[in-house]
Structures are given as structure tokens and as C-alpha cells.
Amino acid sequence: MFYGEHIHGIDNKGRLILPARMREIARENNIEKFYVTRGLDKCIFMFSDHEWQLQEQKFKALSFTKQEARHFNRIFFSGAAEVLPDRQGRFIIPDYLKTFAGIKKDTVVIGVSNRIEIWDTATWQAFFNRTSSEFEKTAENMWNLT
């Protein structure tokens, strides 16, 4: 549902704007509320309210007697915050999430189908440079799994 790579800065009031196409998709799907939390690879995950509920159900099904599940759930859910973009699509990312992702001013907002990821521009570029050369090999290995 969410796709693309968009460069946006955080304004002087600490707000980030959801890219125009993502705002359109949100409007088309009656999405008003999102959840942001600590993601993987030093980015912030952003889920629609509906997708958040689906993810929450999956993680709640993990046994709390398993240490890895407890640790993951603690980090993932303790970092969560509800965000309601304003009419222009602007919202505030909590400071602790910006610190987690190393975001100061410039961001890259990417659509990853069922979620949005928010990256510090330099971190995204380093990740992309490091992994894009392995894209074809990764694709080949993934297709062999199905």
C-alpha cells in the first residue's frame, strides 16, 4: 500500500510531513491515526492503526516465557507512540525515537508495503549502499525459499 522513497526535512517545530502520495493513500483508506516505534536497522517504523493492530496480535501471541520474545516486545512496544497527522500531513516524532534513529533534520521516508520507515538521510544512504549491491543475490535466495 505504501511505496516509494521521499526526502523530507523536519521543520523548526519538530514536525515531519508525510509525503503527498502517502497522504493520498491514507485518505483513500480512511487512515487517520498511525503508530511509530523503534524499527530495525536504526529506522523508525510507522504503521497505520489497522496494521498496528495486526502486528500487535502477532507479537502478543509470542510466549512471554521466551526471553527473546520478552526482550523484543519490551523494546518494540515501549517505543510506540500514536501520531495523528494534521491537515497538511505533519506530525511530531518523539525525541527518543529521533535519537534512536539518529535523526536530526533530514530524513528519507520510504514505503515498505504495509508500513512506512523513517530514516536519517545518511543512515539510509549507508544502508542502501551496503545492501543494494546484494539485491539480486538476496532476491535469488528469497525466491528459492518459496
Domain boundaries, the chain: 2-145
140 pLDDT band, cuts 50/70/90, is: confident
- Answer yes or no: is pLDDT of 146 > 80: no
Quote the CA–CA distance of 87 and 45 in Å, as a whole number.
Answer: 21
- Grid cell of 101 as nine digits: 534513529
pTM recorded for the entire structure: 0.93
36/115 Cα distance (integer angstroms): 10
* Mean pLDDT, residues 3-7 taken together: 97
Domain 2-145 has CATH 3.40.50.2300: no
